[in-house]
A and B are shown apart, each in its own frame.
Chain A
Protein backbone atom coordinates (compact mmCIF):
# COMPACT_ATOMS: atom_id res chain seq x y z
CA UNK A 1 0.00 0.00 0.00
CA UNK A 2 1.43 3.35 -1.09
CA UNK A 3 0.90 5.85 1.72
CA UNK A 4 2.26 8.70 -0.38
CA UNK A 5 0.54 9.56 -3.65
CA UNK A 6 2.49 11.57 -6.18
CA UNK A 7 1.04 13.46 -9.11
CA UNK A 8 1.41 13.69 -11.96
CA UNK A 9 3.06 10.35 -12.62
CA UNK A 10 4.57 11.60 -15.90
CA UNK A 11 5.30 15.15 -17.02
CA UNK A 12 6.86 16.28 -20.30
CA UNK A 13 7.48 20.00 -20.77
CA UNK A 14 9.56 22.42 -22.82
CA UNK A 15 12.66 24.12 -21.54
CA UNK A 16 11.81 27.36 -19.75
CA UNK A 17 8.39 26.27 -18.48
CA UNK A 18 7.42 26.11 -14.82
CA UNK A 19 6.00 23.02 -13.15
CA UNK A 20 4.71 21.73 -9.85
CA UNK A 21 4.57 18.15 -8.61
CA UNK A 22 2.56 17.03 -5.63
CA UNK A 23 2.94 14.52 -2.84
CA UNK A 24 -0.14 13.72 -0.76
CA UNK A 25 -0.98 11.43 2.12
CA UNK A 26 -3.71 10.78 4.64
CA UNK A 27 -1.01 10.20 7.24
CA UNK A 28 1.09 12.68 9.19
CA UNK A 29 4.85 12.51 8.74
CA UNK A 30 7.56 13.95 10.97
CA UNK A 31 9.73 14.72 7.98
CA UNK A 32 9.27 14.86 4.25
CA UNK A 33 12.14 14.44 1.85
CA UNK A 34 12.45 14.96 -1.88
CA UNK A 35 14.87 12.90 -3.94
CA UNK A 36 15.91 12.88 -7.57
CA UNK A 37 16.86 9.61 -9.23
CA UNK A 38 18.56 9.11 -12.58
CA UNK A 39 18.49 5.81 -14.50
CA UNK A 40 20.89 3.24 -13.06
CA UNK A 41 21.57 5.29 -9.95
CA UNK A 42 20.23 5.53 -6.43
CA UNK A 43 18.06 8.44 -5.25
CA UNK A 44 19.91 11.61 -4.28
CA UNK A 45 18.49 13.82 -1.54
CA UNK A 46 17.38 17.31 -2.60
CA UNK A 47 15.79 18.62 0.58
CA UNK A 48 14.31 17.68 3.95
CA UNK A 49 11.40 19.59 5.48
CA UNK A 50 10.29 18.98 9.05
CA UNK A 51 8.01 21.86 10.10
CA UNK A 52 4.41 22.27 8.95
CA UNK A 53 4.18 25.17 6.50
CA UNK A 54 7.92 25.18 5.92
CA UNK A 55 9.18 26.47 2.57
CA UNK A 56 12.71 25.78 1.32
CA UNK A 57 14.35 27.04 -1.84
CA UNK A 58 17.21 25.41 -3.69
CA UNK A 59 18.11 27.59 -6.68
CA UNK A 60 15.15 27.17 -9.08
CA UNK A 61 13.45 24.56 -6.89
CA UNK A 62 10.93 25.49 -4.18
CA UNK A 63 9.71 22.90 -1.70
CA UNK A 64 6.74 23.29 0.62
CA UNK A 65 5.53 21.12 3.49
CA UNK A 66 1.80 21.34 4.21
CA UNK A 67 0.60 22.87 7.46
CA UNK A 68 -0.75 19.51 8.63
CA UNK A 69 2.43 17.69 7.54
CA UNK A 70 0.46 15.38 5.26
CA UNK A 71 1.40 16.84 1.89
CA UNK A 72 4.20 18.56 0.04
CA UNK A 73 4.91 20.18 -3.29
CA UNK A 74 7.94 20.77 -5.46
CA UNK A 75 7.91 23.72 -7.84
CA UNK A 76 10.55 24.17 -10.53
CA UNK A 77 10.95 27.53 -12.23
CA UNK A 78 12.29 27.81 -15.78
CA UNK A 79 12.95 24.10 -16.16
CA UNK A 80 16.10 22.97 -17.94
CA UNK A 81 16.93 19.69 -19.69
CA UNK A 82 19.27 18.90 -16.80
CA UNK A 83 16.23 18.75 -14.51
CA UNK A 84 15.07 15.60 -16.30
CA UNK A 85 14.73 12.67 -13.91
CA UNK A 86 12.49 10.81 -11.47
CA UNK A 87 11.41 12.92 -8.50
CA UNK A 88 10.50 10.95 -5.40
CA UNK A 89 8.97 12.15 -2.16
CA UNK A 90 9.53 10.16 1.01
CA UNK A 91 8.07 10.47 4.49
CA UNK A 92 9.73 9.65 7.78
CA UNK A 93 8.33 9.22 11.27
CA UNK A 94 10.25 10.38 14.33
CA UNK A 95 10.93 7.89 17.07
CA UNK A 96 10.97 4.89 14.80
CA UNK A 97 13.67 3.43 12.65
CA UNK A 98 13.56 6.45 10.34
CA UNK A 99 12.75 4.10 7.51
CA UNK A 100 11.38 6.10 4.60
CA UNK A 101 8.03 5.58 2.92
CA UNK A 102 8.34 6.54 -0.74
CA UNK A 103 5.81 7.62 -3.32
CA UNK A 104 5.90 6.13 -6.82
CA UNK A 105 7.61 9.20 -8.22
CA UNK A 106 7.06 11.75 -10.96
CA UNK A 107 9.02 11.14 -14.14
CA UNK A 108 9.93 14.56 -15.53
CA UNK A 109 11.23 15.13 -19.04
CA UNK A 110 12.36 18.62 -20.05
CA UNK A 111 12.75 18.96 -23.79
CA UNK A 112 15.24 21.45 -25.26
Chain B
Protein backbone atom coordinates (compact mmCIF):
# COMPACT_ATOMS: atom_id res chain seq x y z
CA UNK B 1 0.00 0.00 0.00
CA UNK B 2 0.98 3.61 -0.37
CA UNK B 3 2.99 5.22 2.38
CA UNK B 4 3.11 8.86 3.43
CA UNK B 5 3.87 11.12 0.49
CA UNK B 6 5.08 14.71 0.52
CA UNK B 7 5.25 17.29 -2.21
CA UNK B 8 7.31 18.93 -3.45
CA UNK B 9 10.42 16.90 -2.66
CA UNK B 10 12.53 20.04 -2.99
CA UNK B 11 11.58 23.69 -2.76
CA UNK B 12 13.90 26.62 -3.31
CA UNK B 13 12.55 30.06 -2.51
CA UNK B 14 13.77 33.54 -1.80
CA UNK B 15 13.79 35.22 1.57
CA UNK B 16 10.45 36.85 2.29
CA UNK B 17 8.38 34.57 0.03
CA UNK B 18 5.44 32.37 1.02
CA UNK B 19 5.59 28.57 0.68
CA UNK B 20 3.20 25.67 1.07
CA UNK B 21 4.28 22.10 1.78
CA UNK B 22 1.84 19.23 1.30
CA UNK B 23 1.49 15.92 3.11
CA UNK B 24 -0.65 12.94 2.06
CA UNK B 25 -0.90 10.56 5.01
CA UNK B 26 -1.60 6.85 4.90
CA UNK B 27 -5.28 6.34 4.12
CA UNK B 28 -7.38 6.00 7.26
CA UNK B 29 -4.79 7.41 9.64
CA UNK B 30 -6.37 9.94 11.94
CA UNK B 31 -3.18 11.31 13.49
CA UNK B 32 -0.77 13.48 11.49
CA UNK B 33 2.46 15.10 12.64
CA UNK B 34 4.83 17.68 11.17
CA UNK B 35 8.50 17.73 12.17
CA UNK B 36 11.44 19.82 11.01
CA UNK B 37 14.95 18.39 10.64
CA UNK B 38 17.86 20.78 10.35
CA UNK B 39 21.27 19.65 9.15
CA UNK B 40 22.98 17.45 11.73
CA UNK B 41 19.97 17.38 14.01
CA UNK B 42 17.17 14.98 14.79
CA UNK B 43 13.60 15.82 13.79
CA UNK B 44 11.95 18.53 15.89
CA UNK B 45 8.20 18.44 16.54
CA UNK B 46 6.09 21.23 15.03
CA UNK B 47 2.39 20.32 15.17
CA UNK B 48 0.04 17.37 15.68
CA UNK B 49 -3.43 16.91 14.15
CA UNK B 50 -6.07 14.51 15.38
CA UNK B 51 -8.61 14.47 12.58
CA UNK B 52 -9.19 17.99 11.34
CA UNK B 53 -8.10 19.79 14.48
CA UNK B 54 -4.65 20.83 15.64
CA UNK B 55 -4.40 19.05 18.99
CA UNK B 56 -0.90 20.31 19.79
CA UNK B 57 0.82 23.19 17.98
CA UNK B 58 3.36 23.87 20.70
CA UNK B 59 6.29 23.25 18.37
CA UNK B 60 5.50 25.94 15.81
CA UNK B 61 8.39 28.42 16.16
CA UNK B 62 6.39 31.60 15.54
CA UNK B 63 3.27 32.96 13.87
CA UNK B 64 4.82 32.76 10.41
CA UNK B 65 4.14 29.02 10.53
CA UNK B 66 0.62 27.65 10.12
CA UNK B 67 -0.80 24.25 9.19
CA UNK B 68 -4.23 23.01 8.18
CA UNK B 69 -5.94 19.67 7.64
CA UNK B 70 -9.45 20.69 6.52
CA UNK B 71 -10.86 17.26 5.67
CA UNK B 72 -8.87 15.14 8.08
CA UNK B 73 -6.57 13.66 5.48
CA UNK B 74 -4.20 15.88 3.45
CA UNK B 75 -2.35 18.53 5.42
CA UNK B 76 -0.59 21.69 4.29
CA UNK B 77 2.16 23.45 6.20
CA UNK B 78 2.31 27.13 5.32
CA UNK B 79 5.27 29.40 5.97
CA UNK B 80 4.96 33.16 5.48
CA UNK B 81 7.81 35.63 4.98
CA UNK B 82 10.39 32.86 4.82
CA UNK B 83 13.78 33.39 6.44
CA UNK B 84 17.11 31.69 5.75
CA UNK B 85 16.84 29.97 9.12
CA UNK B 86 13.72 28.16 7.90
CA UNK B 87 15.89 26.06 5.58
CA UNK B 88 15.51 22.43 6.65
CA UNK B 89 13.84 19.16 5.73
CA UNK B 90 10.18 19.20 6.71
CA UNK B 91 8.93 15.72 7.60
CA UNK B 92 5.36 14.56 7.87
CA UNK B 93 4.27 11.43 9.74
CA UNK B 94 0.96 9.72 10.26
CA UNK B 95 -0.28 7.08 12.67
CA UNK B 96 -3.46 5.09 12.98
CA UNK B 97 -4.89 6.68 16.08
CA UNK B 98 -2.20 8.81 17.70
CA UNK B 99 -2.52 6.66 20.78
CA UNK B 100 0.20 5.63 23.19
CA UNK B 101 3.30 4.37 21.36
CA UNK B 102 1.34 4.17 18.10
CA UNK B 103 3.79 3.74 15.23
CA UNK B 104 4.44 6.92 13.28
CA UNK B 105 5.14 6.40 9.58
CA UNK B 106 7.26 9.12 8.05
CA UNK B 107 7.26 10.51 4.56
CA UNK B 108 10.48 11.28 2.65
CA UNK B 109 10.31 14.96 3.54
CA UNK B 110 10.42 18.24 1.66
CA UNK B 111 13.81 19.92 1.55
CA UNK B 112 13.22 23.68 1.82
CA UNK B 113 16.04 26.04 0.90
CA UNK B 114 15.58 29.75 1.51
CA UNK B 115 18.09 31.88 -0.39
- Which single residue of chain B is at the shortest CB-CB distance from A89? B42
Band of interface residues on B = 20 to 34
Pair count A-B, CB < 8 A: 73
- Segment among B12-20, B64-72, B73-81, B98-106 that sits at the interface with chain A: B98-106
Q: Interface SS of chain A: helix, strand, loop or mixed?
A: loop
Checking A92, A104, A105 against B101 with a beta-carbon cut-off of 8 angstroms, the contacting residue is A92
A87 to chain B, nearest CB (A): 10
Checking B35, B93, B101 against A30 with a beta-carbon cut-off of 8 angstroms, the contacting residue is B101
Per-position 1/0 for A42-54, Cβ under 8 A of B: 1111001010000
Checking B4, B41, B103, B107 against A104 with a beta-carbon cut-off of 8 angstroms, the contacting residue is B41
Chain A: residues with Cβ within 8 Å of the partner, total of 29
Is there an interface contact between B31 and A98, defined as CB atoms closer than 8 Å? Answer: yes
Is there an interface contact between B106 and A43, defined as CB atoms closer than 8 Å? Answer: yes
A88 touching B100 in the complex, CB below 8 Å, given contacts A42-B108, A44-B106, A98-B31: no
Chain B contact residues, CB within 8 Å of chain A: 4, 31, 33, 35, 40-45, 48, 50, 55-56, 59, 91, 93, 95, 98-109
